Amino acid sequence: MEQPVQLPLPMWRVQYQLLGGRRRMMAIVLVTTTLLIVGIIAIRRLMLRDPFPAVATRVLTLLTVIQVLVTVLGGANAVYRALLRDYQTKMNESHRLTPMSGIAVSVGYLFGSTMQITALFAVFTVVGAGVSLFARLPVGPWLLSNLILFNGAITIWAATVFSGMRLEKPFSPAPIIVGIAALTLPLCFVPGAALLLNIYSVLFAVWIMTGRMMVTSPAILLVAVVNVVFTIFWISAAARKYRRPDMPALNVCRGLILLVLALVTGMTGLSAFQRAGWTGPTSFSGPELAQGQWIATMIGSLILACVAIGGAVKCRVLVSNGAAPRDWSDRVPSLVAALVAAALICLLTAGLGVRVWRELVTPPAWGTEARAAFACAWLFTVAACFLALLTIRNVFELAYLRFKSGNMIVGLFVIVVWGLAPLADVIRAEYFRVGRDPAAYSWLLGCSPFGTISITWYGLDVVVWPGVLVQVTLLVLLACLARWSRRKLSFKRLTGGNPSPKRRRGINGRVP
């Protein structure tokens, strides 16, 4: 179903009235401005001995913390509260009866429910600029950092709109945002994850506001463009989910588009990271960091590909149960989704990340031995990717055939089956390691696709083929079990779920 572009004025007007209208908006702006001015005067009174530029620097640091919390966390919570209110009052069902398109409704939630947050953002920006002018500090960095922050916050708001377009009760994004904030330091060294989770926008804004680090213009432009692209993606996905919340919005096509976007941004960011290096207070550049970044990006791509595969399986199950498909993409077999996703991961990482992976296995010299090493590494990497996604496709089928929502089952499979084997081998190797000798890992590490990729690109002295054989055996067993479940379900549908004739015989021994 096509989504025509309409002006979201009705949704903006509704959200504006629900937020209290002009009186409440003006009251919030005036009260906030007054409190900020009084607070700045009080801080100046307490620090009379310090020059005003030093006081202004501390005031701007305090405003930075408040600005980040209000814009990111407060804006996402405002979108969530608007979606929750419409869910509780059944207003979302009334919106679906109106001629408004899904894009108009999604954009209405995006900028309508966050009007007060936008007003507060403007107040903090103007007050910070005024403090900078009075202290004769450069105003340009403060305004630029606020634009970067607002650019990233809109992407987070759009993702919140997408997550709230559902038949069930919307869930609060605050725990997710707090969890990502707690993992900011390790995630910022994985460019794909940091760009997808919008970590760089907040970090760049804070660095520029506080003057702790200089950020280059290409990096700012890259992050801004990525944020705009992902904002458009989340809004279009929310619009698609608005009319048909019973069907997954991230089906094969949109799931693969998300995978391609993540791979392109991840590989581009990883190449830029390796080319520029880390220019922070501590140098983290080196082969170990490059290997860890590459492996984390590959594993993250496998996990993200599960979105497309799960969407394909769920669409096929819903259509087979009588749901009307939206278009041809809801009928794409899950096997095609798994094969295409694995091929995309291998091709895009090999093509876009060639500057990175050529320096991981062997020295940069491109000789016969290097070619053989790279061929062997990519052979096991391709095998791990295809085996992993074909296996997870069967797990999704078993989960959705047995349960209404199979995401938890698939998550448990990834943690238990793919996670425990490498973890057990790492614990064993560390336990039996003597002194500072290198840990001796075994073939058990390669029983998981995550372990196979780690062995390959870390260059560990471990035999890989026994673990690959275990993955093949697991794939065959799950494929047989999934085929048996499909046949059993098809037979049950053909017979209407009735018992066999022998069990339906009456007292006289005849079949009624």
Q: What is the pLDDT of residues 6-37, one digit of tens each?
A: 677 888 888 888 888 888 999 999 999 999 99
Residue 311 lies in a domain: no
Check residue 307 and give its pLDDT. 92
Residue 508 lies in a domain: no
The closest alpha carbon to 100, from 243, 249, 235, 234, belongs to 243
Find all residues with CB under 8 Å of 480, minimum gap 6, and list them.
Answer: none
User: What would the mean pLDDT of 160-176 be, rounded to a whole number?
Assistant: 88
Alpha helices in 52-114 (DSSP H): 52-68, 75-88, 91-96, 102-112
Tokens 């894009």 correspond to 103
Find all residues with CB under 8 Å of 345, minimum gap 6, and list them.
Answer: 259, 263, 298, 301, 302, 305, 385
The band of 426, judged by pLDDT with boundaries at 50, 70 and 90, is: confident
Number of domains forming the structure of the chain: 1
Residue 117, pLDDT above cutoff 70: yes
Check residue 361 and give its pLDDT. 62
Check residue 46 and give its pLDDT. 85
The residue ranges of DSSP E strands in 126-175, in sequence order, are none
Residue 154, pLDDT above cutoff 70: yes
Q: Exposed/middle/buried for 2, CB within 10 Å: 0-12, 13-18, 19+?
A: exposed
Residue 173 lies in a domain: yes
Tell me, yes or no, if the pTM score tops 0.85: yes
Taking all residues of the chain, what is their mean pLDDT, rounded to a whole number?
A: 84
Residue 455 lies in a domain: no
Check residue 476 and give its pLDDT. 94
User: What would the mean pLDDT of 70-92 be, rounded to a whole number?
Assistant: 90
Residue 360 lies in a domain: no
Residue 193 lies in a domain: yes
The band of 146, judged by pLDDT with boundaries at 50, 70 and 90, is: very high
The closest alpha carbon to 439, from 423, 461, 411, belongs to 461
Range(s) of the domain holding residue 117 = 1-245
The band of 400, judged by pLDDT with boundaries at 50, 70 and 90, is: confident
Check residue 497 and give its pLDDT. 54
Check residue 3 and give its pLDDT. 57
Residue 255 lies in a domain: no
Residue 475 lies in a domain: no
Higher-confidence position of 338 and 505 = 338
Check residue 365 and give its pLDDT. 47
Check residue 390 and give its pLDDT. 95
The closest alpha carbon to 404, from 334, 491, 317, belongs to 317
Check residue 502 and give its pLDDT. 45
Residues constituting the chain: 512
